[in-house]
Structure 1
């Protein structure tokens, strides 16, 4: 099973890079997780441009970049006017509208910074991550929280309808809570399976939590508004292409791009790759 999953990840990564990586790019975002190892591997094989700068979403992704002989640059070193040409990242779960849950590896804040700074975000995953709705198979929403605010946030999450939110500990539990690259903690909050915007439009629920059911965007906003929350592991709203179109249309003051991928490449059990694209 493990070999099949790793093979699926590699196949998806190779196809995603082949169809989306431009060797003439100047800045490329590199996400976190086991699938991204294969993305970096594929980029190394395809890249003929030593001038490309790669922006990691955390310590692990920076190590992947360095070990591949590519050149990393810190996110906060980017000039104000520079957008990433593209960002590649994985996901813990993806629904039919390409909303994602991320943060299983505790890098969600920097992953969201990079995704929103990219002209387009391409997600790469294996078949286990492809689900009709978020919280179908993946059990919780990861949330990055200031340590002092953890008790308050846990209480507020219960009020929002989370059945049993918990502070994530390290693998060696006696070592205490897991710390992110920002020295924050991660809270994992279970909720009922989330509705899509299409579900709400079809009358399958209000999506505001009053009946126990939340729509993806509404829940993300409700959690983000809790004092002490740095970021929420729901990637929803618009994608980078849609964000750019909005800026051109109405002069939107939104600084950068969107959170959702423009496409998700799923490596399947049979060796094929299934691609879900925005608006398809």
Structure 2
């Protein structure tokens, strides 16, 4: 085996172990035995979240019901012999106690880019239905500004017939070569989401935070301003920016996590906690 292939395998193993460490600590800190309704997101890190939940044993999990964000998390829940239910069965007056999900990138204010796996719409529905949303990721997802580490662009779920016009709007807003996501290698043409929509990936300049000083250059956006503008484009169903308030600031509808857990390259777990509402 060559040294380069050995190094690649070592790096892959490091990433997986970091994901697992973050997932187990997040579950230990945020899944209280009294909880009965739990959201389960999508992505490679969530595999370890479900493993950590199942490791608690039936004496804890038998009183819990788990709500997936898509086919992958549904399969994980069933394979772990956990009770499955769907978010459309949750009464409007009820909330999930907690939801665990990953991210493609997390900035210094705990804004997220999500949707690399094309489940962003369901992920946002589940996250905003939870009293507490907890993000679990590895060290590669940690960034000071969205768009610095995740170069593929902000995932945007769109109505197929509107896609050409949405692309035009995005270019006018400063997006750098936005593209309809391909379904290859499994499917020719555009990727089709669980909702029958397409995904556009729209790269922008790194997104500014309110704390950033100086004038914004042409084509630069703050996270919240871009999120507000994108969701108002006709034909856009949902966007992969999770921004605004967290569950400590609002009683319901929070898109940002109350905490983000990052498995680090040295084997430790870094925890970043959200700010509470101002008094």
TM-score of the pair, normalised by structure 2: 0.92
Distance 1:173 1:150 in 2: 21
Q: Is the Cα–Cα contact under 8 Å of residues 143 and 233 in structure 1 kept in the other structure?
A: yes
**1:14 maps to 2:10:** no
Distance 1:197 1:6 in 2: 34
Where structure 1 has 5 or more consecutive residues not aligned to the other structure, the ranges are 245-255
**1:166 maps to 2:179:** yes
Partner of 1:154: 167
Which of 248, 266, 272 is equivalent to 1:270?
A: 266
Runs (4+) of structure 1 moved beyond 6 Å? none
Q: Is the Cα–Cα contact under 8 Å of residues 241 and 257 in structure 1 kept in the other structure?
A: no
Q: Which has the higher helix share?
A: 1
Distance 1:174 1:114 in 2: 28
Partner of 2:37: 27
Distance 2:115 2:214 in 1: 28
Partner deviation per Cα, 1:5-49 (whole Å, 9 max, x = no partner): 000000000110111111221100000000000000001112513
Partner of 1:249: none
Distance 2:245 2:196 in 1: 29
Distance 2:142 2:40 in 1: 21
What root-mean-square deviation, in Å, do the aligned CA atoms of Structure 1 and Structure 2 show?
1.3
Partner of 2:250: 243
Partner of 2:222: 215
Q: 1:174 deviation in Å?
A: 5.9
**1:231 maps to 2:238:** yes
Partner of 2:189: 176
Which of 128, 146, 158 is equivalent to 1:145?
A: 158
Partner of 1:40: 50
Q: 1:197 deviation in Å?
A: 1.9
Partner of 2:127: 115
Q: 1:79 deviation in Å?
A: 1.2
Q: Is the Cα–Cα contact under 8 Å of residues 13 and 38 in structure 1 kept in the other structure?
A: yes
Q: 1:54 deviation in Å?
A: 0.5
Aligned length: 263
Partner of 1:261: 257
Distance 1:229 1:74 in 2: 24
TM alignment of 1:165-204, pairs within 5 A: 165-172=178-185, 175-199=188-212, 203-204=213-214
Distance 2:163 2:32 in 1: 42
Where structure 2 has 5 or more consecutive residues not aligned to the other structure, the ranges are 1-10
**1:103 maps to 2:115:** yes
Q: Is the Cα–Cα contact under 8 Å of residues 28 and 84 in structure 1 kept in the other structure?
A: yes
TM-score of the pair, normalised by structure 1: 0.91
Partner deviation per Cα, 1:112-140 (whole Å, 9 max, x = no partner): 00111000100000000001100001011
Distance 2:257 2:95 in 1: 16
Distance 1:178 1:223 in 2: 20
